[in-house]
Structure formats: C-alpha cells, structure tokens
Amino acid sequence: MIEAILKPIFKPIQRMIIRPIKQAKTLPKRLLAMLRRFLVTAIFGPLRSLDNYLRLGSYYIAKKLVAIIVVLSLIIVYFGFINPPAFLNKWMGKTPQLEAAALAGSGFNGTAAVKDPDGNLLYEGALVDGLYSGEGKLYYPDGTLRYRGAFDKGLMSGDGELYAEDGNLLYRGQFLNDAYSGTGALYNADGTVSYEGAFLSGTFEGAGVAYNADGSIKYAGAFAHGLYEGEGKLSGADGKPVYEGAFVAGVYEGAGKLYDSQGNASYEGGFVSGKPSGPGKELYPSGFVKYEGEFLLGAYHGAGTLFGESGKPLYVGTFLGGAKSGTGEAYDDAGILRYSGQFAGGQYQGIGSLFDTDGALAYKGFFRGGAPSGESFVGITLAKLQETLGAADPAPPAEEPVLPDLPVAEEEEAPTGNESTGGDSPAGAETSPDASTPGNEASEQADGTAAGGVANAQEAANAVASTDDHAAAGTISSGGAAGTSATAGAEPAGSANGPVVQGEGLPIEDPLLPLLPATQQLTYAAMGMTFQLTADEDNPELFTVTKMATWNSLVMEPAYKRLVDAKATSVKETLASGRTSVRFVSGNVLLTFILNKDKLVRMELEGIIPEA
C-alpha cells in the first residue's frame, strides 16, 4: 500500500534527476564524439551552403576555420601545459610535474619534479627513460632534502651529499648504487668529521682517518670491511698514541709498537691476537730497554734478558708464563753476577750457584723456594754430590805415628816378657819381639777397636755439645780428618766386608768384595760445607750423604728463618760452652742449629731412618 502511494511521487524524480546523473558518466565520451563529428564535418566538408558557416552579426565565419582553431588550441593546451616536451620546458623555464607511480613506464627524458600520490615532492632533477639520471635532488616525504648529487639509472652514483631527516649533513663524497663508494667523509650531528677516506659498498675500505668527538685523530691508516687492517696508528681519546703497526680484523697482529698513558713507547715487537708475542722489547718510560726476548700472549716466554733502568742486565735466561723458569743468571744493580742456575716460578729452584759481591763463588748446591736447601743434600749419592759440587778439598796428609825408642835386646839377655811370667821357657827365649802370638795381636787390635768405637759413639752423642771442636775443625764430629773415615781407622780394613773365621780373632778378606771404608768425609771449605757419606750395606761401592754440616750463613740463615716463621716444633738446649742448640725436624732430616749469642754459627743435618 505504501509502495503504491510513493511510487507516483518518485517516478518523476527518477526521470528528472537520477537518470541524468547516470547518463553523466558517458557525457565526456558523447561530447568528444560530438566534437569529433563537428571537426570532421567542418574541416573536410565542402563550403557549398550557408550551413557551412556560422553567422556572427553581419559576418559569416566558416566552420572549417573554427574547427582548425579548436584543433590548434587543443594541441597548445596538451603540449604546452599537460605534457610539454623537454625543449619547451627548458625554453619556458618550467619543470614538468610527474607522478611516481606512472614514472617508471613513461620513458620520460628530461628534467622533472616527481611527486607521490599525495602531492609531496620526492625528486627533482634529470630523468632518462623515466629513471633518475644525472644531477638531481631526493626529498623526504616532509619535503626535507635527503640527497643532492649525481644519479645513474635511478640510484645515487657519483658525487653527492646525504642528509638526515633533521637536515644535518651525514656524508659528502662519492656514491655507487646508493652506497658510499670511493672517497668521502662522514659527519657527526654537530657537523664535525668522524671519518675521512676511502669507502666501498658503504664501509671503510682503504686508507682513511677516523676522528674522536673533539676532532683529534683516533686512527690513521688502512681499513678493510670497516675494520683496521694493515698498517695504521691508533690514538686515545686524549690524542696520545696507543699503538702503531700492523692490524688484522681490527686487532694488533704482526710487527708494532705500544705506548703507555703518557705517550711513551712501552713495547716494540711482534703481536698475535692483540697481545705481544714473538721477539720483542719492553721499554722503560725513559726509553731504555726493560726486557728483550721472547713473548707469548703478553707475557715473557722463552729466552730473554731483563735490564735495570741503568741498562745493565738483571737476569739472562728463560721464562715461562712471565716468570723466570729454566736456566738463567741473576745480577745485582751493579751488573755483578749473583746467581747462576735453575729457576722455577720466578725463584731459585733446583741446582745453582750463589756469588758474593766480588764475583767469588759463595755457595753451590740445591735451592728450594728461592733459598739454598741443605736438606736436599741428605740422601744423594757420592756421584751426584761430586757432579753437583765438583771435587772435594784434598784430604790433609796422614800424620805418621811417632814410635817410642825401645831398648835393643842383647843376645845373652833373656826377653823381658818371659821374666814377667816368673818362669823359664826355652821356646820363649828364642822368640823375637816381632813374633808375637796371633792371640796377642788380635787382643791389641780389639782393644784399639773398642777404644775407637767408644770414642766415636761418645762424640756422636755429644755432637751438638762439642761445638768448639766442630767450629775449629770445620768437620762433622767423627774423630777423623777430612777425606778419611773414622770407622775405617778404628777397624781393620777387611772387618766391614770380610767374614770372621770362628775361633780366630782375625778377619779373612773376601776376594769378591772391594776393600773400601765404611764412611767417607768430604769437605768444601770454600763454601763452608762438609759431608759424611755412608756405604750401602749391600753395595759397599755406593755411598750416600747421611750427614752434613755447614757454617755458611747463606745456607743457615734462610733455613732457620723458614722454620721459625713456619712455627715448626723445636727443641732448644743450652750447651756447656754457653752456646745454644735448636733442633727441628723437616721431613726425614734432623736440623741442629748452633747459636753463639743469638748468632748462627753452625748447622748440622742428619738423615732420619724411618721406622719399619
């Protein structure tokens, strides 16, 4: 019902308004068709009647003329305003406006302004085949200049300037395919230069100079892939040199020179992975050589020499991980040799020799923890001792005993020995003094042996107490002279080695065993040391050090201080002579120190046989 009421109302509106609007879409096409028919009829039609003229007042104008004027006007409008040729724009000083979307396929050649669909200027400059080529300018969407310079096939190539969105200059130099390539300069936000030199594909490549924020040079030299590569010089933020030499991938590699914080050269030589390695020199700030030799990853390693600031050597030898290790020689500040031997961890360790300020040998032997080690002598063999210290002092010549004058027996007088018996004996009367009985001879030897043994035992028991005799003799308390055996002097030569026949007092020599003393005593007076060596029970040729005595302060004082500082258990005793005896146990060695008024005068060491 409603439709029946409204339909008569909307039909006139549809006919008068909506239909013309729909037809308006085809209006330009119909107008163009009408214009085309008019121009064709007017231009190519014959002038046969007044229908071919337009009356204008009292004048008649040929439709052909009007058509020609219209055609010329359209040509002028199109080529003059819509799509003018390049020569016309140049002649008229007008830049054509092109849309970026239609530019690629347009094939336009010449100068133009390219805009986005919103009308924002994107490019202004030369175009070849619709591509940026030649001099031109690129803009950010907000109209800020982005790039000014040369283009080729739509890309930045050649000399140009690149700007940030805030208008600050970023780069000035050469481009290739939209990247920095060639010679150019990068700039900081404040306009100062941050890098100046060669580029390739947007990175530093070739010779260049990098700058600190204050404008001082940070690095000058060669680059590769944006990193220091080749010869160059690196400086700190204060402009003082840090390193000069070869680089690989941004780190020190090869020959170079390091500088300290004051700008003084501190090292010259090889580098590996950024650290001194190989032959090199470490320098004092004064320029004098501090160390010359081998390095490994920044530490002394291998053969080298340490020098004092005066230029005199302090150490010549080998190093391991920055510390003296191996064989070397240590010197004092005056350049005088003070030690020669083995090192470990920067300390004297092993076998070495100490020298006094005059260069004379003061001690030779074992070292432990940087100090002489007397304990290391105990238990070594005679061969090792002589290999370490050399030949001992020669033994003093043995004194021949002075025999008392004996009365000469006359033939007619009977022997005094027989008279003491109170009886006559013809056999005894004929016996000479040299023909003493085996039993008597054995008795005399036994008495001598017993006396000697008692004397030696007494001396061993009172070794610490009899310090006056020790100090005077300079030997271990054994009752014998240096280089001789007390035990050997007390016993017959074969008693230690040969079996004794039952029922007889005389030992029988074993032809399979050598005739050697049971002990030996060697003295090295120049170094203040003496050693007692004892033969092995099973191998009498093998002698080992069982006792040692020394009055060398270089040996005594470090040992005493080490034990006292370690608070080792000790036994202190005042001797009858007024001296003091202090005993310590260190491992399997008993150490006895003799002090005279708090001054060390003697040290004795004796091996301790562990209980089975």
Q: Going by C-beta distance under 8 Å and a sequence separation of 6 or more, which residues neighbour residue 188? A: 194, 213
- What secondary structure does DSSP assign to 11-69, as a single string? HHHIIIIIHHHHHHTTHHHHHHHHHHHHHHHHHHS---SGGGEEEETTEEEEHHHHHHH
- Overall average pLDDT of the 155-175 stretch: 95
Dist. CA 175–CA 179, nearest whole Å: 5
Range name among 17-21, 50-54, 238-242 with the lowest pLDDT average? 17-21
Q: Which two tokens stand for residue 172?
A: 């000035």
Distance of CA 346 to the CA centre of its chain: 17
**Separation between Cα atoms, residue 440 and residue 446, nearest integer Å:** 10
Our measurement of the distance from residue 368's CA atom to the centroid of its chain's CA atoms, rounded to an integer in Å, reads 27
Q: Which of 558, 223, 569, 604 has the alpha carbon at shortest distance from 377?
A: 604
Tokens of 294: 């081998």
Q: What is the pLDDT of residue 451?
A: 34
Residue 445: which pLDDT band, with cuts at 50, 70 and 90? very low
CB contact at 8 A, 500 and 507: yes
* Percent with pLDDT over 70 in the chain: 73
pLDDT at site 419: 39
Among 516, 546, 518, 517, residue whose Cα is nearest residue 531: 546
DSSP string, 225-260: TTEEEEEEEEE-TTS-EEEEEEEETTEEEEEEEEE-
Residue range 494-522, pLDDT digits in tens: 333 444 344 444 455 555 555 667 899 99
pLDDT of residue 61: 81
- Select from 607, 608, 609 the least CA-distant residue to 374: 607
pLDDT band at 392 (very low <50, low <70, confident <90, very high): very high
* Tokens representing residue 528 in the block: 């203040």
Greater confidence, 604 or 80? 604
Average pLDDT of every residue of the chain: 80
Residues 344-364, mean pLDDT to the nearest whole number: 94
| pLDDT of the residue at 24 | 67
pLDDT for the residue 96: 66
Tokens representing residue 153 in the block: 């096939």
Q: Residue 162 pLDDT more than 70?
A: yes
Per-residue pLDDT of 314-348, as tens digits, reads: 999 999 999 999 999 999 999 999 999 999 999 99
Look at residue 33 in the predicted model and tell me its pLDDT. Answer: 82
Q: Residues 96-139: pLDDT tens digits?
A: 677 777 776 677 888 888 888 888 899 999 988 888 999 999 99
Confidence check: pLDDT of 577 > 80: yes
d(CA 547, CA 254): 57
Q: For residue 161, report the phi and psi dihedrals to the nearest 5 degrees.
A: -130, 135
Q: What is the dihedral of CA 514, 520, 526, 527, to 10 degrees?
A: 120
Least confident span in 89-93, 441-445, 545-549, 593-597: 441-445
d(CA 221, CA 230): 7
Residue 608 tokens read as 């301790």
Do 314 and 331 touch, CB atoms closer than 8 A? yes
What pLDDT is recorded for position 497?
41
pLDDT greater at residue 27 or residue 554: 554
User: Do 134 and 126 contact (CB within 8 A), yes or no?
Assistant: yes
Q: Where are the domains of the chain?
A: 30-82, 459-492+515-612
Q: Give yes or no for residue 43 having a pLDDT over 90.
A: no
Q: Using CA atoms in the order 295, 299, 305, 310, what is the torsion angle rounded to 10 degrees? A: 120
Q: Identify the H or E element spanning 75.
A: helix 63-77
At 223-257, the pLDDT tens digits run 999 999 999 999 999 889 999 999 999 999 999 99
535 token code pair: 């033969």
pLDDT score for 35 = 77
Residue 120 to residue 496: CA distance in whole angstroms = 121
- In the chain the first and final C-alpha atoms are separated, in Å, by 135
Structure tokens at 139: 């803009």
Give the pLDDT confidence score for residue 15 in this predicted structure.
64
Best CA proximity match to 276, nearest among 329, 319, 309, 238:
319
Q: Is the pLDDT of residue 567 over 90?
A: yes
Highest mean pLDDT out of 106-115, 122-131, 166-175, 432-441: 166-175
The secondary structure of 168-205 as a DSSP string is -EEEEEEEETTEEEEEEEEE-TTS-EEEEEEEETTEEE
Kindly report the number of other CB atoms within 10 A of residue 488's CB atom.
19
Query: For residues 384 and 90, what is the distance between their CA atoms, to the nearest angstrom?
Result: 108
Q: List beta partners, residue 595.
A: 580, 600
What pLDDT was estimated at residue 102?
72
pLDDT in tens, 188-210: 999 999 999 999 999 999 999 99
pLDDT tens per residue, range 262-272: 999 999 999 99
In this predicted structure, what is the pLDDT of residue 493?
A: 36
The percentage of the chain sitting over the pLDDT mark of 90, rounded to a whole number, equals: 54
The span from the CA of 195 to the CA of 186, in Å, is 5
List, for residues 280-317, the tens digit of each pLDDT value.
999 999 999 999 999 999 999 999 999 999 999 999 99
Which of 47-61, 218-232, 467-481, 577-591 shows the lowest per-residue confidence on average (mean pLDDT)? Answer: 467-481
Q: 27 or 455, which is more confident?
A: 27
Each residue of 54-97: pLDDT tens digit?
Answer: 777 788 787 778 888 888 888 888 776 666 666 666 666 566 67
CA nearest to 347, candidates 372, 365, 310:
372
Residue 396 pLDDT = 79
Q: How many other C-beta atoms are found inside a 10 Å radius of the C-beta of residue 494?
A: 16
